[in-house]
Structures are given as structure tokens and as C-alpha cells.
A and B are shown apart, each in its own frame.
Chain A
Amino acid sequence: EVQLVESGGGLVQPGGSLRLSCAASGFTFSSYEMNWVRQAPGKGLEWVSYISSSGSTIYYADSVKGRFTISRDNAKNSLYLQMNSLRAEDTAVYYCARESAGYMDVWGKGTTVTVSS
């Protein structure tokens, strides 16, 4: 079964850091581009970051540029999002999503990040 499972969310103080992980199974992880997408409480979906299959090409939304770092370990079938200098507005459910030829076809269930003092 094709599956993505996120972990690493939690409660963190403003200015703090968290590292999210996304474990992939059921497909050849190294062949796929991957994304992080977030959803603030009661709000819509917001694309956060993209990484190519090899990890050589990376993009970030302006809202997280300079604070978040996306990475992957194809040997471990894992995607990561290092989040630093967290702000209240980063509070959201974070989803990892597999990209396939112009669309996001597989999504994890998400992990919740709450930034609050």
C-alpha cells in the first residue's frame, strides 16, 4: 500500500524549532518529487516547500523562506522539514504530499504544529 506518514509535530514556543519527518512506503521514494503543504486552523491549503527526486532542486514559499529547510534521505525513504524561528502564524497541520507529473497524488494524514507561549 502506498503510504506517507508524518511525525514530529507538537507544541513549541515562538522562536523555537521543530523537525518534521515523513516516512514513505509502498513505492519507489527516490523516483518522486515531494512537497510539504500546510493548513492553518480553519483555513485553506498552503504550499510550503518542494524538493526534487534527487534533492538537487528546492523551492520555498515566501512565508517560510530563510526559516524552513526541506531535505530527503532516499536510502531511508524519508522526507524532512526543519522549521526554525517559528511564529504563531506557522501553527498548522503539515502534510507531506507525493508529486506525480503535475499533481499531488498521495498525501499523508498530517502532523500538527502549534506555536504558542
Chain B
Amino acid sequence: SSELTQDPAVSVALGQTVRITCQGDSLRSYYASWYQQKPGQAPVLVIYGKNNRPSGIPDRFSGSSSGNTASLTITGAQAEDEADYYCNSRDSSGNPWVFGGGTKLTVL
């Protein structure tokens, strides 16, 4: 199966901008989706498609993609954005889905 690679941990100062990246061959063919997961809670979809936010997701969250890399950008990070973030996409090798290993975001 395909793989999606994420940095294990990223930190950002309160109010600053942070980019979380996801790399994988499947991203050359498929958009990534991004999920936020806080401790003890289920994942929540924050970005899907080219750059779409579900209802209720703040507009400080945005997505982009180039080549084999997808990015989730948080512009003006807030304390409540501290969480684990996972990317996923269709798996170009036959299975429907593949997830990245996750990035733990710390807001300082």
C-alpha cells in the first residue's frame, strides 16, 4: 500500500502561522483530507478537496497541494488548535484509503 509521511511534531507561537505537511505518491493523483483529533476525542474533518472547510471550521484553516505534498496551514493559531492532525487520501495502490502518521501540534 501507499504511504503518507508527516512530521511527528510541530510547534507554533500563539497567533502565528504554521504549516503541517503530508508527503506521498498518492497525493500526485488525489487530494488530501485533514483531520484534527484532540485527546480522548474522535477525529474531526477540517479540510477536504482542493481547499474546502466543513461548516463550523474556522477560516484560519486552509489547505494546499503541490506535487506529492499536501499542506494544512493554520493562520493565526489559537490555543484550541493544539491537537494531533492527520492527513489521508485515496491509496493509489489498490486499497481505498491511507492515513499519514499524524503531527502533534503544540501552541506555545
Contacts and interface: CB of A to CB of B under 8 A. Distances in A.
Interface residues of A, number: 19
A28 B31 CA distance: 26
Contacts of A109: 41-42
Contact of A45 (B30, B43, B44, B90): B43
Interface string B72-93: 0000000000001010101000
Contacts of B86: 44-45
B44 A107 contact: yes
B42 A47 contact: no
Contacts of B58: none
Interface in A86-104: 95, 102-104
B102 interface: yes
Given A44-B101, A47-B98, A59-B96, A107 B43 contact: yes
